Each structure stands twice: as C-alpha cells, then as structure tokens.
Structure 1
Amino acid sequence: MIVRDWESEALILDWKLLVGGPGGVLAGVLFRSVGWASIEAIMFEPRPDGHPRLVLVPAAGADLGVPAEYRNGVDGRPSVILVNIADVRESPDQVRAALQRYAGDRYAHAD
C-alpha cells in the first residue's frame, strides 16, 4: 500500500517497516526514520530457514541511533538487522519492488 503522508510518499510494509521517497527507511528497531543519505546499502540476507532478513549498512559517519554491530552474511560489513521478511505482511517480491523503486543503487541485489 502506498501512502502520501510520510515525507511525500512511502510504501507501508506491514507497520514494522516503511520504505519511502525522501523519508528513506523507518523500522521499529531504529526507532526513527533514516534518510537515504545515511544508508550505504540495504539488502536481503539469505538464511538457512529460507526466510531472509532485511539488513541495512549505514553510510560512513551516519548516526542511526543504534549501533551497527552485526556483520551481515552477504559481504561482512557492519549492519543493522531491520526485520525478518517472514514477519512482514507483504511478500518478499513486494519488498524487493519497494527497495528497487526507492533505494536505487543502495539496494544490493544479493538475493
């Protein structure tokens, strides 16, 4: 579902995750929105159980309000786990489409 009241436009992914235009990403684990300039990469991280996680790699010097202490399994960079995709109402394909639309080059196609 697309809403137009979160910094112009956003795709609501359950209420656990919002992906939007200038607003960037809003996820419960971050406790606030993070603009695209603060995001180096955002990607699906495959898992043995078949349910990938969405992880965010912060840009150099970005303050996400939480430490990027997790080393993601895709490329090993310090990251923050945003959400397990199995916990989001939308399908993985809908999440991918939102990331392709809004994140542009920041969306790392590791999946």
Structure 2
Amino acid sequence: MELRRRRGALVLGLVFFATGAFVLGCFEYLTVLGWIVGLLALLVGGGVVLAERRPFRFHIGPNGMVLRVASLNRAVPWTEVDAIVLDQQVPTIGEKQPISSSLLLVPPTNSFVEGPLDGRSPVDGRPALILLDLADVRQSVDEVAAALARFAGSRFTDVRHLRRARFDSPDFNIRPGGYEPAQVDDLIRQGRDGLLIDQLLPRWAAKATFERARAELPASELGYDRTEVDSLLDELSVLIARSPSRGTQAG
C-alpha cells in the first residue's frame, strides 16, 4: 500500500505566496503596513510550499516499509520493527478539533534506527520514532490500519481497539452510594451503539439521548465508583460527539 500526502496545505501556501507577491508588486502605493503584510504573506506562503514539497514516501508491504519520512530514507524490513503502533489522542471535553492519529515505530533493542526516539509507545512506554501524522495523508486511518494489520501482523497495535475494549468490559470499583451498575452498563452499551452511526444527524440524536440518560443515572446503596464512571462516560461522550469523518471514530 502506497500512502499519498494530502495537498491542502500546499494550495493554501501558494495562495499566501501569490498574495504576498501581488501586494509587494504594488510597491509604488504601499504603506509601511502594506510592506509588512506583503512580506509576511510571502514568507509564510513560501515556508508552507517548501515544507509541502519536501520528499515523501510511505509504502507498506509484505517485506516491510519503504520510507522517506521523519529521519528515515530507506527500506525498513519488519525485522527492524519490534512494534508499530497507531496512536490516537485521548479526547477531552470541549475539544473541537479532529482527534489526532499518528504512527510510532518501536525498534528492537539491538537495532539502530536513524533519528531521535522522541515518542513513547502508549502500549508499554518504550521509546519510539514518530513516523507520521495520519492527518497528512489521503488514506483514511482505517485503510492504513488494515494494511499494517495485514503486513505487520502481531507487530502492529491499534490503540483504538484497546480503548474500545475499555468500553466493552469496564472494570469499576464498587463504592457506597455509587451509580446503579445495571443502568451504567446499559448506558455504555447505548454509547457504543452511537459510535457505530456513520451519519451526522442520527449521531447527534444519539448523543442527545445518551446525555439525557446520563443525567438521570440513579445511585445505589452499593454501586459503581462515580469518579471512574464519569471519566469513562466523558470519553465516550466526546467520541460520540465527533463528526463521523476520517480519523475521528473510535474504531
């Protein structure tokens, strides 16, 4: 599978560059502010164009990966990959931006991989090389995950599945005055169903229903720990609220 880089930023950079060149071309009529705006637009646009035109290659195949990303510019066989992880930002309340997803390469202890290991595997905390922000490629997160699952096998971990497993089998402590367990279990199942909706308006309706049911959660003499339940429901609520577009679903 050959990944292709998105070009949206390149178009924006060209617009800035052309705008700056046009403004500076009218030098006879420019004020000081005009010079400043023109130069800034030219510099910003030129910087974006140069960044977007840098060489890029990311091929995933049965023998490994052929990369021209980060600090790597060579073929990386699977024997040089101890783990490759699809990491995904943990959603937070109030955050409106799409959830960020990235690929991390964890090399074997006896292997040398070029570049700083400035990332951390969310699975076991080992140092990792940050390969790619998946928002920068045309393929969806699911397409990239499917290719890695096929070719990298057990080396590949998709943290979205780990998070989904948390929703499938939550393990809450029992506390006096906690939430009624059966009601919480039903609400989590309802939230998981909402994650599967791929149309915007029905998904929003599912979110509203979820929040109403959440506000009415009853207490029990012995029930699920309120803090633990609220933390999980916060995360589930944010995921349901995301538009069902590329890179935003829980998997």
Measured against aligned partners, the alpha-carbon deviations of 1:47-89 in whole angstroms (never above 9, x if no partner) come to 2550211111111211122232322344311000000010011
Partner of 2:2: 12
- 1:35 Cα deviation from its structure 2 partner: 0.7
- 1:94 Cα deviation from its structure 2 partner: 0.5
Alignment counterpart, residue 100 of structure 1, candidates 149, 154, 159: 149
1:1-111 pair list within 5 angstroms: 11-14=1-4, 15-29=56-70, 30-47=72-89, 48=91, 49-111=98-160
Structure 1 unaligned spans of 5+: 1-10
Identity %: 39
Please report the TM-score for the alignment, with normalisation by the length of structure 1.
0.80
User: Aligned equivalents of 2:149 and 2:121: distance in 1?
Assistant: 20
- 1:39 Cα deviation from its structure 2 partner: 0.4
Root-mean-square deviation over aligned CA pairs: 1.7
> Structure 1 residue runs of 4+, over 3 Å off?
none
Partner of 1:7: none
Which amino acid in the other structure matches residue 93 of structure 1? D
User: Aligned equivalents of 1:69 and 1:85: distance in 2?
Assistant: 17
Which amino acid in the other structure matches residue 106 of structure 2? V
Which structure ranks higher in relative contact order (CA pairs < 8 Å, sequence separation ≥ 6)? Answer: 1
Alpha-carbon contact 2:103-2:130 (below 8 Å) kept: yes
Which amino acid in the other structure matches residue 136 of structure 2? D
User: Aligned equivalents of 1:85 and 1:72: distance in 2?
Assistant: 16
Structure with greater helix share of residues = 2
Helix, strand or coil for the counterpart of 2:64? coil
Alpha-carbon contact 2:105-2:129 (below 8 Å) kept: yes
Partner of 2:10: none
User: Aligned equivalents of 1:57 and 1:25: distance in 2?
Assistant: 16
- 1:24 Cα deviation from its structure 2 partner: 3.0
Helix, strand or coil for the counterpart of 2:2? strand
User: Aligned equivalents of 2:82 and 2:129: distance in 1?
Assistant: 12
Number of aligned pairs? 101
Work out which of the two has the higher radius of gyration on C-alpha atoms and give 1 or 2.
Answer: 2
User: Aligned equivalents of 1:18 and 1:26: distance in 2?
Assistant: 7
